[in-house]
Amino acid sequence: MNSSELLMLVKNELPKSEAEQLLMGLLGKERYQLYFDPVPITDKIAQKFFALAWKRKKGEPIQYLLNSATFLDYELYVDARVLIPRPETEELVIKTIAKLRSPQLIIELGTGSGAIAIALAKTFPETKIIATDISKSALEVAEINIERCNLSDSVTLVHADLFNFSNPKLLSGRADCIISNPPYIDRTVIPSLASTVKDYEPIESLNGGKDGFEIIHTIIRQGMKFLKSDGLFALEIDPKQKDLILALAPMANFKKDLSGRIRFAFIQNN
Protein backbone atom coordinates (compact mmCIF):
# COMPACT_ATOMS: atom_id res chain seq x y z
CA MET A 1 0.00 0.00 0.00
CA ASN A 2 1.19 3.53 -0.73
CA SER A 3 0.25 6.96 0.62
CA SER A 4 -2.39 7.65 -2.03
CA GLU A 5 -4.13 4.36 -1.36
CA LEU A 6 -4.02 4.92 2.40
CA LEU A 7 -5.76 8.28 2.06
CA MET A 8 -8.52 6.65 0.04
CA LEU A 9 -9.29 4.38 2.99
CA VAL A 10 -10.37 7.30 5.17
CA LYS A 11 -12.05 9.47 2.55
CA ASN A 12 -15.44 8.97 4.21
CA GLU A 13 -14.10 9.51 7.75
CA LEU A 14 -12.19 12.80 7.53
CA PRO A 15 -12.07 15.84 5.27
CA LYS A 16 -9.44 15.27 2.62
CA SER A 17 -7.28 18.20 3.75
CA GLU A 18 -7.16 16.92 7.34
CA ALA A 19 -6.24 13.38 6.31
CA GLU A 20 -3.50 14.78 4.09
CA GLN A 21 -2.19 16.98 6.89
CA LEU A 22 -1.99 14.02 9.27
CA LEU A 23 -0.14 11.88 6.76
CA MET A 24 2.19 14.70 5.75
CA GLY A 25 3.09 15.15 9.40
CA LEU A 26 3.72 11.45 9.91
CA LEU A 27 5.83 11.06 6.79
CA GLY A 28 7.52 14.45 6.69
CA LYS A 29 6.40 14.86 3.07
CA GLU A 30 4.77 17.58 1.01
CA ARG A 31 1.19 17.16 -0.24
CA TYR A 32 2.15 16.58 -3.86
CA GLN A 33 4.43 13.72 -2.85
CA LEU A 34 1.49 11.81 -1.38
CA TYR A 35 -0.01 11.51 -4.86
CA PHE A 36 2.61 12.08 -7.57
CA ASP A 37 5.44 10.29 -5.81
CA PRO A 38 3.45 7.87 -3.60
CA VAL A 39 5.28 6.79 -0.47
CA PRO A 40 5.30 3.10 0.52
CA ILE A 41 3.36 2.67 3.79
CA THR A 42 4.51 0.19 6.41
CA ASP A 43 2.08 -1.49 8.77
CA LYS A 44 3.48 0.59 11.61
CA ILE A 45 2.83 3.88 9.79
CA ALA A 46 -0.66 2.73 8.77
CA GLN A 47 -1.53 1.90 12.37
CA LYS A 48 -0.29 5.29 13.58
CA PHE A 49 -2.24 7.04 10.84
CA PHE A 50 -5.50 5.25 11.64
CA ALA A 51 -5.04 6.01 15.37
CA LEU A 52 -4.54 9.71 14.63
CA ALA A 53 -7.44 9.77 12.19
CA TRP A 54 -9.73 8.28 14.85
CA LYS A 55 -8.67 10.88 17.42
CA ARG A 56 -9.16 13.65 14.90
CA LYS A 57 -12.62 12.36 14.03
CA LYS A 58 -13.52 12.62 17.73
CA GLY A 59 -12.38 16.25 17.75
CA GLU A 60 -8.80 16.38 18.96
CA PRO A 61 -6.96 19.25 17.23
CA ILE A 62 -4.51 18.26 14.51
CA GLN A 63 -1.84 20.47 16.10
CA TYR A 64 -1.89 18.34 19.25
CA LEU A 65 -1.93 15.11 17.27
CA LEU A 66 1.18 16.15 15.36
CA ASN A 67 2.71 18.21 18.18
CA SER A 68 3.21 21.02 15.70
CA ALA A 69 1.71 24.45 15.05
CA THR A 70 2.73 27.19 12.65
CA PHE A 71 3.22 30.71 13.99
CA LEU A 72 4.31 33.37 11.50
CA ASP A 73 7.17 31.71 9.63
CA TYR A 74 8.23 28.96 12.01
CA GLU A 75 6.99 25.73 13.54
CA LEU A 76 6.32 25.33 17.26
CA TYR A 77 6.04 22.24 19.41
CA VAL A 78 2.60 22.20 21.05
CA ASP A 79 0.61 19.79 23.17
CA ALA A 80 -2.39 19.95 25.49
CA ARG A 81 -0.41 21.93 28.08
CA VAL A 82 -0.68 25.10 25.97
CA LEU A 83 -3.12 26.91 23.71
CA ILE A 84 -2.75 26.44 19.98
CA PRO A 85 -1.46 29.75 18.55
CA ARG A 86 -4.06 31.66 16.54
CA PRO A 87 -3.74 33.98 13.53
CA GLU A 88 -5.05 36.86 15.66
CA THR A 89 -2.01 36.53 17.91
CA GLU A 90 0.24 36.69 14.86
CA GLU A 91 -1.49 39.99 14.08
CA LEU A 92 -0.87 41.21 17.64
CA VAL A 93 2.85 40.54 17.23
CA ILE A 94 3.05 42.20 13.81
CA LYS A 95 1.21 45.33 14.98
CA THR A 96 3.31 45.55 18.14
CA ILE A 97 6.60 45.21 16.29
CA ALA A 98 5.58 48.12 14.07
CA LYS A 99 5.18 50.31 17.16
CA LEU A 100 8.53 49.51 18.81
CA ARG A 101 11.93 51.04 18.15
CA SER A 102 14.99 49.21 19.50
CA PRO A 103 13.38 48.07 22.77
CA GLN A 104 15.70 47.04 25.59
CA LEU A 105 13.22 45.05 27.69
CA ILE A 106 9.91 43.40 26.82
CA ILE A 107 7.73 41.54 29.32
CA GLU A 108 5.31 38.96 28.01
CA LEU A 109 2.59 37.71 30.35
CA GLY A 110 1.17 34.22 29.83
CA THR A 111 3.68 32.98 27.29
CA GLY A 112 2.19 29.49 26.78
CA SER A 113 4.08 27.90 23.90
CA GLY A 114 6.47 30.85 23.78
CA ALA A 115 5.19 31.97 20.36
CA ILE A 116 5.07 35.70 21.08
CA ALA A 117 8.40 35.80 22.92
CA ILE A 118 10.12 33.89 20.13
CA ALA A 119 8.75 36.18 17.41
CA LEU A 120 9.87 39.26 19.32
CA ALA A 121 13.30 37.80 20.04
CA LYS A 122 13.79 37.01 16.37
CA THR A 123 12.83 40.55 15.40
CA PHE A 124 14.81 42.31 18.14
CA PRO A 125 17.91 40.16 18.76
CA GLU A 126 19.42 42.71 21.15
CA THR A 127 16.31 42.90 23.33
CA LYS A 128 15.95 41.16 26.68
CA ILE A 129 12.60 39.37 26.94
CA ILE A 130 11.06 38.10 30.15
CA ALA A 131 8.23 35.64 29.48
CA THR A 132 6.03 34.55 32.38
CA ASP A 133 3.36 31.95 32.90
CA ILE A 134 1.42 30.76 35.91
CA SER A 135 1.59 27.19 34.56
CA LYS A 136 4.84 25.30 35.08
CA SER A 137 3.78 22.76 32.47
CA ALA A 138 3.25 25.53 29.90
CA LEU A 139 6.72 26.85 30.64
CA GLU A 140 8.11 23.38 29.89
CA VAL A 141 6.62 23.64 26.40
CA ALA A 142 7.92 27.19 25.95
CA GLU A 143 11.39 26.01 26.94
CA ILE A 144 11.32 23.33 24.23
CA ASN A 145 10.54 25.95 21.60
CA ILE A 146 12.98 28.54 22.86
CA GLU A 147 15.80 26.00 22.89
CA ARG A 148 14.88 24.80 19.40
CA CYS A 149 15.16 28.40 18.19
CA ASN A 150 18.46 28.96 20.03
CA LEU A 151 16.98 31.91 21.91
CA SER A 152 17.80 30.95 25.50
CA ASP A 153 20.14 33.94 25.78
CA SER A 154 17.40 36.35 24.73
CA VAL A 155 14.31 34.95 26.47
CA THR A 156 14.11 34.33 30.21
CA LEU A 157 11.20 32.16 31.35
CA VAL A 158 9.71 32.98 34.74
CA HIS A 159 7.11 31.03 36.70
CA ALA A 160 4.84 33.80 37.96
CA ASP A 161 1.21 34.87 38.22
CA LEU A 162 1.31 37.98 36.04
CA PHE A 163 3.62 40.48 37.78
CA ASN A 164 4.31 38.44 40.91
CA PHE A 165 8.01 38.12 40.15
CA SER A 166 10.42 37.12 42.88
CA ASN A 167 11.79 40.69 43.03
CA PRO A 168 9.45 43.01 41.08
CA LYS A 169 11.28 46.20 42.16
CA LEU A 170 14.16 45.27 39.87
CA LEU A 171 11.87 45.70 36.86
CA SER A 172 10.03 48.82 37.99
CA GLY A 173 9.95 51.42 35.22
CA ARG A 174 12.19 49.41 32.89
CA ALA A 175 9.95 47.77 30.28
CA ASP A 176 9.59 49.23 26.82
CA CYS A 177 6.59 46.97 26.23
CA ILE A 178 4.27 44.67 28.13
CA ILE A 179 2.54 42.30 25.75
CA SER A 180 -0.03 39.60 26.41
CA ASN A 181 -2.62 37.37 24.86
CA PRO A 182 -4.33 36.82 28.21
CA PRO A 183 -7.35 34.67 29.02
CA TYR A 184 -10.16 36.98 27.87
CA ILE A 185 -13.21 34.79 27.35
CA ASP A 186 -16.18 35.42 29.66
CA ARG A 187 -16.42 32.46 32.02
CA THR A 188 -20.13 32.08 31.25
CA VAL A 189 -19.28 31.52 27.57
CA ILE A 190 -16.81 28.68 28.17
CA PRO A 191 -19.47 25.89 28.09
CA SER A 192 -20.66 27.07 24.66
CA LEU A 193 -17.23 26.98 23.03
CA ALA A 194 -16.57 24.46 20.28
CA SER A 195 -15.80 21.02 21.70
CA THR A 196 -12.47 21.04 19.85
CA VAL A 197 -11.49 23.95 22.10
CA LYS A 198 -13.18 23.38 25.47
CA ASP A 199 -12.52 19.63 25.56
CA TYR A 200 -8.85 19.77 24.59
CA GLU A 201 -7.22 23.15 25.16
CA PRO A 202 -6.32 24.35 28.69
CA ILE A 203 -9.35 26.16 30.09
CA GLU A 204 -7.20 28.27 32.41
CA SER A 205 -5.68 29.86 29.31
CA LEU A 206 -9.14 30.85 28.05
CA ASN A 207 -11.15 31.77 31.14
CA GLY A 208 -10.95 35.50 31.83
CA GLY A 209 -13.52 35.44 34.62
CA LYS A 210 -16.40 37.93 34.78
CA ASP A 211 -16.84 39.62 31.39
CA GLY A 212 -13.55 37.95 30.44
CA PHE A 213 -11.94 41.04 31.93
CA GLU A 214 -10.52 40.06 35.32
CA ILE A 215 -6.99 39.32 34.12
CA ILE A 216 -6.84 42.23 31.68
CA HIS A 217 -7.96 44.54 34.50
CA THR A 218 -5.12 43.31 36.69
CA ILE A 219 -2.57 43.63 33.90
CA ILE A 220 -3.48 47.26 33.22
CA ARG A 221 -3.76 48.28 36.87
CA GLN A 222 -0.53 46.65 38.00
CA GLY A 223 1.49 46.95 34.82
CA MET A 224 1.90 50.71 34.54
CA LYS A 225 4.61 50.80 37.17
CA PHE A 226 6.72 48.38 35.13
CA LEU A 227 6.61 50.46 31.94
CA LYS A 228 8.99 53.22 30.99
CA SER A 229 7.44 56.67 30.72
CA ASP A 230 6.78 56.07 27.03
CA GLY A 231 6.26 52.31 27.32
CA LEU A 232 3.55 50.37 25.54
CA PHE A 233 0.86 47.89 26.55
CA ALA A 234 -0.10 45.52 23.73
CA LEU A 235 -3.07 43.27 24.46
CA GLU A 236 -5.27 40.84 22.57
CA ILE A 237 -8.85 41.34 23.73
CA ASP A 238 -12.51 40.54 23.14
CA PRO A 239 -14.30 43.29 21.18
CA LYS A 240 -16.81 43.71 24.04
CA GLN A 241 -14.01 44.85 26.37
CA LYS A 242 -13.28 48.14 24.62
CA ASP A 243 -15.35 50.29 26.99
CA LEU A 244 -14.05 48.46 30.05
CA ILE A 245 -10.49 49.22 28.96
CA LEU A 246 -11.29 52.87 28.22
CA ALA A 247 -12.65 53.25 31.75
CA LEU A 248 -9.22 52.24 33.06
CA ALA A 249 -7.07 53.79 30.35
CA PRO A 250 -8.80 56.59 28.38
CA MET A 251 -5.69 56.94 26.20
CA ALA A 252 -6.07 53.41 24.85
CA ASN A 253 -6.42 52.91 21.12
CA PHE A 254 -7.78 49.87 19.38
CA LYS A 255 -7.10 47.97 16.18
CA LYS A 256 -9.22 45.49 14.27
CA ASP A 257 -8.24 41.99 13.22
CA LEU A 258 -8.49 40.73 9.66
CA SER A 259 -12.15 39.82 10.20
CA GLY A 260 -12.95 43.46 11.02
CA ARG A 261 -13.50 43.02 14.75
CA ILE A 262 -11.75 45.05 17.44
CA ARG A 263 -9.15 42.63 18.75
CA PHE A 264 -6.15 44.61 19.98
CA ALA A 265 -5.65 47.31 22.59
CA PHE A 266 -2.57 49.50 22.70
CA ILE A 267 -1.96 51.76 25.67
CA GLN A 268 0.94 54.22 25.72
CA ASN A 269 2.23 55.12 29.16
CA ASN A 270 2.40 58.93 29.15
Q: Which homologous superfamily does the CATH classification assign to the domain defined by 69-268?
A: Vaccinia Virus protein VP39 (3.40.50.150)
Query: Which residue, 263, 267, 256, 265, is CA-closest to 238?
Result: 263
> Residue ranges of the domains in the chain?
3-58, 69-268
* Burial group, residue 236, by CB count within 10 angstroms (0-12, 13-18, 19+): buried
Per-residue pLDDT reduced to its tens digit, 101-143: 999 999 999 999 999 999 999 999 999 999 999 999 999 999 9
Structure confidence at residue 270 as a pLDDT band (50, 70, 90): confident
Distance CA 37, CA 30 (A): 10
pTM above 0.75, yes or no: yes
Q: DSSP assignment, residue 36?
A: H
Per-residue pLDDT reduced to its tens digit, 52-90: 999 999 999 999 999 999 999 999 999 999 999 999 999
Query: Which residue, 131, 142, 137, 240, is CA-closest to 175?
Result: 131
